[in-house]
């Protein structure tokens, strides 16, 4: 356990880089492994989640090398070209690594066993095992469809036509990755659009994939199976889900003005920016451009007052990882902030809905927690703070509450900063360089 305490900061200032996008990093390693030729990845997130993915792929015979800071090469083995692992695949804390890899393993006719840490082993896997079973995969999972599980993929995988019962990019991606190995067309219909990094990258690697709008606002994605994927260079933008922490910190700490450079602004990832805009935040997107099929921009945040808002539940998927930090922002706003459609938050690295409600209450904030909603009441003055937060193996809970401590009246401590390594290595040093006061608990 690495406890940390965050105390009131002076004005934050500077232009910073945050680590590469976690979702895109996972996909770059996977598609690199499934293509023919050598893929060069620049800006890969070197956090524990992505390193777990790399280690699993190496165990299955993929040659992956680190050739520089964030620069990695992957020598592809072709679709269904992985070899049987001679040990257990440990996916650590990463739901994305576990679920996407299960999709890839579906087309490999050998047994593979996946496990994770206590957080990952408590998360639901039925959402992936159910559709992959329909394609011909055999699963032996712990009760409740949890990890550890053993799966045996199939050399004769059936294509699938599937409507997602939950808004989940991980489930969508797992099915599409499985569809690569099956003949015919695999189709996934998502009622609500979710992040489309898999679709974009599959197209960039040469897959035949089409996306059509659905009649009720969703999308229908069709993939022609058994394509030849060609190694392609990937430039990973900075992760907006990581940028969110310094950006909101700057909004809350008086006198702050910071810029985070080269951040991915994929439309299905920027729900937080829309929400903060509705709350009156001074956030500016500068230098917008495209990098390797993904839109990026420099994002500037300037301190100013925030007002409560009704956050659009239709955009929940586009900001699903940002609710912890949004709830912190809401605690500083004047008025009521209503966040609805949050059922999925209960299945993240921790039950984030109850973790946020509990932590905010401990810091003196008025919060109502419902089954799938949260209402935060603020009066425009800083919360009391002073809370001691249990992070429960959840990196975003850890970072969100450290941000709370930067602008609340009394310091906020967390019991364990170790989970931050999964997505944002060097978070503490980077934040302290722009003016925060995070340090060890003495």
Side by side, the strands of the sheet bearing 89-90 are: 89-90, 111-115, 146-152, 138-142
Side by side, the strands of the sheet bearing 161-163 are: 161-163, 185-190, 219-224, 209-213
In the bound state with ligand S3P, the residue whose beta carbon lies nearer, of 25 and 256, is 25
In the bound state with ligand S3P, the residue whose beta carbon lies nearer, of 176 and 376, is 176
Q: At 136, list the tokens.
A: 């011909």
Q: What residues make contact with ligand S3P under the rule CB under 6 A?
A: 23, 96, 168-170, 173, 195, 320-321, 344
In the bound state with ligand S3P, the residue whose beta carbon lies nearer, of 173 and 350, is 173
Cα→Cα distances 199→167, 206, 266, Å: 15, 11, 12
Q: What dihedral angle (degrees, nearest 10) is formed by the CA atoms of 356, 433, 247, 357?
A: 10
Burial 18-48 (b: 16+ CB within 10 A, else e): bbbbbbbbbbbbbbbbbbbeebbbbbbbbbb
Q: At 384, list the tokens.
A: 């009391």
Question: Is 117 labeled as catalytic in the residue annotation?
Answer: no
**Cβ 425 to ligand S3P, closest distance in Å?**
16
Cα→Cα distances 250→260, 281, 429, Å: 11, 10, 16
Three-state secondary structure call for residue 285 = strand
Q: How far apart are CA 234 and CA 27, in angstroms?
A: 10
**Cβ 103 to ligand S3P, closest distance in Å?**
11
DSSP per-residue string spanning 231-248: ---EEPPBPHHHHHHHHH
In the bound state with ligand S3P, the residue whose beta carbon lies nearer, of 173 and 391, is 173
Q: What is the largest CA-CA distance in the chain?
A: 61
Element spanning 222, H or E: strand 219-224
In the bound state with ligand S3P, the residue whose beta carbon lies nearer, of 35 and 173, is 173
Q: How far apart are CA 421 and CA 155, in angstroms?
A: 37
CB 13 within 8 A of CB 256: yes
In the bound state with ligand S3P, the residue whose beta carbon lies nearer, of 75 and 354, is 354
**Cβ 344 to ligand S3P, closest distance in Å?**
6
In the bound state with ligand S3P, the residue whose beta carbon lies nearer, of 194 and 436, is 194
**Cβ 196 to ligand S3P, closest distance in Å?**
10
Side by side, the strands of the sheet bearing 4-7 are: 388-389, 412-414, 4-7, 437-440
**Cβ 168 to ligand S3P, closest distance in Å?**
3
**Cβ 94 to ligand S3P, closest distance in Å?**
9
**Cβ 162 to ligand S3P, closest distance in Å?**
14
Q: Which of 156, 321, 351, 394 is catalytic?
A: 321
| Catalytic center residues | 321
């Amino acid at each position: 356990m690495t406890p940390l305490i965050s105390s009131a900061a002076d004005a934050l200032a500077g232009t910073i880089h945050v680590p590469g996008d976690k979702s895109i990093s996972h996909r770059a390693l996977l598609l690199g492994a499934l293509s023919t030729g050598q893929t060069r990845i620049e800006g890969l997130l070197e956090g524990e989640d992505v390193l777990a993915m790399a280690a699993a792929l190496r165990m299955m015979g993929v040659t992956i090398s680190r050739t520089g800071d964030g620069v990695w090469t992957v020598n592809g083995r072709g679709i269904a070209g992985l070899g049987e692992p001679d040990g257990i695949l440990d996916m650590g804390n990463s739901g994305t690594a576990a679920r996407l890899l299960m999709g890839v393993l579906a087309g490999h006719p050998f047994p593979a066993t996946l496990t994770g840490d206590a957080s990952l082993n408590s998360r639901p896997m039925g959402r992936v095992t159910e559709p992959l079973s329909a394609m011909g995969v055999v699963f032996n999972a712990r009760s409740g469809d949890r990890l550890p599980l053993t799966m045996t993929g199939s050399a004769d995988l059936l294509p699938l036509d599937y409507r997602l019962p939950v808004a989940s990019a991980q489930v969508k991606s797992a099915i599409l990755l499985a569809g690569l190995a099956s003949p015919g067309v695999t189709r996934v219909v998502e009622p609500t659009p979710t992040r489309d990094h898999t679709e974009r990258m599959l197209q960039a690697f040469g897959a035949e994939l089409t996306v059509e709008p659905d009649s009720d606002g969703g999308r229908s994605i069709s993939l022609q199976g058994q394509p030849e994927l060609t190694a392609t260079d990937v430039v990973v933008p900075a992760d907006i889900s990581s940028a969110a922490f310094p950006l909101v910190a700057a909004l809350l700490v008086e006198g702050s003005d910071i810029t985070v450079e080269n951040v991915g602004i994929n439309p299905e990832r920027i729900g937080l920016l829309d929400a903060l805009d509705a709350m009156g935040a001074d956030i500016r997107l500068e230098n917008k451009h495209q990098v390797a099929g993904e839109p990026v921009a420099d994002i500037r945040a300037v301190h100013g007052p925030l007002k409560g808002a009704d956050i659009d539940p239709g955009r929940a998927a586009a900001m699903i990882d940002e609710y912890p930090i949004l709830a912190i922002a809401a605690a500083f706003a004047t008025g009521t902030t209503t966040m609805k459609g949050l059922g999925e938050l209960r299945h993240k690295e921790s039950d984030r809905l109850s973790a946020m409600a509990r932590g905010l209450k401990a810091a003196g904030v008025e919060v109502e927690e419902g089954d799938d909603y949260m209402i935060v009441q603020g009066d425009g003055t800083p919360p009391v703070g002073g809370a001691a937060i249990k992070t429960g193996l959840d990196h975003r809970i850890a970072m969100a509450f450290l941000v709370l401590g930067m602008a609340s009246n009394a310091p906020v401590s967390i019991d364990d900063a170790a989970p931050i390594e999964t997505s944002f290595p060097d978070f503490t040093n980077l934040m302290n360089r722009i003016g925060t006061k995070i340090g060890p608990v003495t």
